[in-house]
Chains A and B, each alone.
Chain A
């Protein structure tokens, strides 16, 4: 009995103890851990990173007092990695979580293909563990697995596993890898870049996955104002950025804001051109290092026929299809690289973005490069050259000279000798001609479909009045009898153009192919004595007379305006003695005497222009004509101001006024009867 009771007590005790043990086990992590052997929580070494495997979370399935139970399984989060790499085990603070870093906590781009061996977290986001894992250490001692990478990274091979589209081997339009670097690689490594074991280019030459100081994980800035493009120039040192405008350069302007062009927000290809922080032109304005759509040269868009140039240089686009488009008008012409115009397009036959000569990046052989801004024009407009048919003959407007101090020009460009616009520069072909715009057109299209034109600036509706932008005092001729475009529009010019189709100047003057050097005269030159003149002319072969008698003859277009006395009696020479009278200042200042070749400095003759200003109807009024044919009198008739009061009286006394009345007046010419004008 006693034994039975003892046995019963014993049984109860044992059961109670086991129940107690079970209860305790339910709440005691250590025991739970023992019971759950084989579960990951048992190893603290794992839970050092696998936070969710801490026994409180894993075995007991509850929050801790200091941390809530993680809802996801991700391990290699930023916070987890920095909790050791903050220096307490490895100091990676220079690289991690500051500056620009590889995407972490974000979804991968659609362009990226991430294989299974690079796991994303449960939400499909990139984490540190996507690329790194302490479990992936290789058995060998190769450094190719360095930094706990999940794959070998020889020559950026691991980068390219995901970024397949960034490899030139896979996709065209990418910067080639494994190319030998042409420079001392110390320049690269000093800035944080790396090369492969053979000093060749790899992804890390330009990019840093962690702690990069610049956008796109670049080791150097490509958009920084002070140093844009220096990353490219580390290797492409033959294409230096322009630091000083006056220095010789052989590449397109860099690092300066676009002055005369506007970089579009997007190119027609849809690509966005890069710009510096202050809208500077940078390498990335034209180039794209990865996935460039351009067939050649990693260009931002396909530049066949130079279409990319005109994305920015829109005003220059007008050259296409014109005689200056050598790809059409002279397709066999080669640039300095030996490329034919037919293949390059209209721009590259004259300019080269890289390897060009001079500031305008000429791609033509220029004899006198740097001495004249017209060197490029002459390289074509010369005998044996593509534009020999458009070679100016005889006399042309002077170039290479500064603008006269009397002239004011606000619209037409002047240039320095290198061809760069300069407000106090010299007159060049390009002052009047816009070589990229054929207007005003002379032919819409020839048989080859090429547009012909005069390439004149400021042309409008087929006309241009650009002369008066410099020769502003001459514009008063407009609307007067001397404006043949109004007074005699059918007057044929030597270039088979009717005066009505040209400006107000071209009836008499021609910038090219003129008959005389002086006044670049294009109208017919007349005789020394016209029919009806009662006074013989004894001035020799005087240009200044023939300029006027070309029209003012009985045969000329101004046959109605032929005076009886064509010239001052004797048209005497004003000698030094006469000039040096009391009236010298007046004579010199107000009235001119011309030598037979048209010069007015020194002794000369009284000629038409001594008393007449052919560009101003009324000497007292600086106004244009009113498009009416007027019969003049002594107050106008293109007479210079103060003529009667000063000039005549200076030599003839007051009675000279009466002489004057009868000299040219309609009455004296028997055209009109009295009363006299005064």
Chain B
């Protein structure tokens, strides 16, 4: 009888333990703030919009001289905006007639060279700061689908986002030889589902927007995923369609969500800092924000694809 009771008691204790563990797990999975509560706000002031007869621009990059390079790929050009004198210039990406390009991503290297990922022609196009053709590198396979490129002159390499193949290609900048390939299709850290745009911080950590995994992966130079930012959802710190990423001078990570129309800010590697609001604290809703970039003065440039413009906000410290 005692033995039977002991067995029963043990089972009950097991159940209690299970329930307690389950409760602890569930409680720990609760968000850091409860629903109905406003998410932490990072205020920004709208300054102006840049318009230049864009047709679905996709990405932009802030150059070392502060000029904004806007990729107006459907119009086969790069538009350069000078925030000092507000002058606009442009240059053609593909000079050949009747050759349709699908450039999607742009990065201006620290030496001023302009790198463009041309997904339609499976190549990387390099231009001088003046917009002269410097070089074109055909990628190894026609199946390669480069949607963005991030250069790292310190490591003498660049990272090409191979969207359709769910991976990152690492090339040396000197000869454009393939050094490494990171990732494959999947949901685990280090795996991707349609990676799109990317950026790097001051520590050479690469941040890749992993669109259908609804997260941003932080990858160190060795190719190891150090952290993932955000997750699936429609609440603060979550993504529905993350698209663009940029990193400010304080290594804070800004991520655009094109469907939700918001910009969210994270501290490396994981901590959610807040969501961009206007000066009154109202959620800043944008129209299909895609590529984003931030300059040294904390001016945030946001491509609003369907609006065919780049909106400029001053982050209020």
A interface residue numbers (CB < 8 A to B): 3, 10, 13-14, 17-18, 20-21, 24-25, 27-31, 44, 48, 51, 54-57, 60, 62, 64-67, 78-80, 82-84, 86-89, 91, 93-94, 97-98
Contacts and interface: CB of A to CB of B under 8 A. Distances in A.
B138 interface: no
A60 B104 CA distance: 38
B26 A21 contact: yes
Contacts of A31: 26
Given A66-B238, A66-B260, 17 more contacts: A17-B19, A24-B27, A28-B26, A29-B233, A65-B37, A65-B39, A66-B235, A66-B283, A67-B240, A80-B259, A83-B288, A87-B104, A88-B194, A89-B211, A94-B102, A97-B56, A97-B306
Contacts of B211: 84, 88-89
B243 interface: yes
B29 A28 contact: yes
B262 A98 contact: no
Contact of A64 (B26, B55, B74, B233): B233
B58 A87 contact: yes
Q: Max chain A CB contacts within 10 Å: which of B34, B55, B234, B235?
A: B234
A67 B288 contact: no
Contacts, number: 135
A93 B56 contact: yes
Given A18-B19, A28-B29, A56 B234 contact: yes
Contacts of B243: 86, 88
A24 B27 CA distance: 7
B262 to A, nearest CB: 5
Interface string B263-297: 00000000000010000000100001010000000
Contacts of B236: 65-66
Contacts of B16: 10, 13-14, 17
19 contacts: A14-B19, A17-B16, A17-B19, A21-B26, A24-B26, A54-B234, A65-B37, A66-B275, A66-B283, A67-B240, A67-B260, A84-B241, A86-B288, A86-B305, A93-B56, A93-B74, A93-B305, A94-B100, A94-B102
B163 interface: yes
B119 interface: yes
Nearest to A97: B306
A490 to B, nearest CB: 81
B212 A48 contact: yes
B153 interface: no
A54 B288 contact: no
Listed from nearest, the 3 A-B pairs whose CB atoms lie closest are A64-B234, A93-B56, A17-B19
Contact of B23 (A20, A48, A60, A78): A20
Interface string B13-46: 0011001101100110110001111110000000
Given A88-B147, A91-B102, A65 B35 contact: yes
Interface of B: 5, 12, 15-16, 19-20, 22-23, 26-27, 29-30, 34-39, 55-56, 58, 73-74, 100, 102, 104, 119-120, 147, 163, 194, 196, 211-212, 232-236, 238, 240-241, 243, 257-260, 262, 275, 283, 288, 290, 305-306, 308
Contacts of B23: 17, 20-21, 24
Contacts of B305: 82, 86, 93
A14 B5 CA distance: 17
Contact of B74 (A67, A80, A94): A94
Contacts of A56: 35, 233-235
A21 B23 CA distance: 6
Q: Max chain B CB contacts within 10 Å: which of A29, A54, A87?
A: A87
Contacts of A98: 55-56, 74, 308
A28 B28 CA distance: 10
B19 A21 contact: yes
Given A14-B16, A88-B194, A57 B259 contact: no
Contact of A67 (B35, B100, B234): B234
A594 B29 CA distance: 125
B205 to A, nearest CB: 22
A91 B119 contact: yes
Contacts of B258: 82-83, 86, 88
A82 B147 contact: no
Contacts of B120: 91
Q: Max chain A CB contacts within 10 Å: which of B55, B100, B241, B257?
A: B241
Given A57-B234, A67-B260, A86 B12 contact: no
Nearest to B100: A94
Contacts of A65: 35, 37-39, 234-236, 275
Contacts of B119: 87, 91
Contacts of B74: 93-94, 98
A138 B236 CA distance: 39
A622 B225 CA distance: 109
Contacts of B12: 10, 14
A20 B20 CA distance: 10
Nearest to B283: A66
B241 A83 contact: yes
Nearest to B242: A88
A83 B234 contact: no
Given A14-B12, A30-B29, A62 B147 contact: no
Contacts of A28: 26, 29-30
A27 B36 CA distance: 12
A91 B104 contact: yes
Nearest to B26: A24
A84 B147 CA distance: 13
Contacts of A67: 234, 240, 260
B234 A88 contact: no
A28 B20 CA distance: 16
Contacts of A88: 147, 163, 194, 196, 211, 241, 243, 258
A20 B34 CA distance: 17
Contacts of A17: 16, 19-20, 23
A70 to B, nearest CB: 10
Contacts of B238: 64, 66
Contacts of A18: 19
B268 to A, nearest CB: 22
Contacts of B259: 51, 79-80, 83
A73 B276 CA distance: 28
A10 B14 CA distance: 12
B235 to A, nearest CB: 4
Nearest to A10: B12
Contacts of B147: 87-88
Nearest to B98: A190
Contact of B30 (A27, A54, A66, A84): A27
A93 B55 CA distance: 8
A26 to B, nearest CB: 11
A398 B56 CA distance: 70
A13 B13 CA distance: 10
Nearest to A16: B19
A21 B102 CA distance: 52
Contact of A44 (B73, B232, B306): B232
B2 to A, nearest CB: 10
A28 B23 CA distance: 11
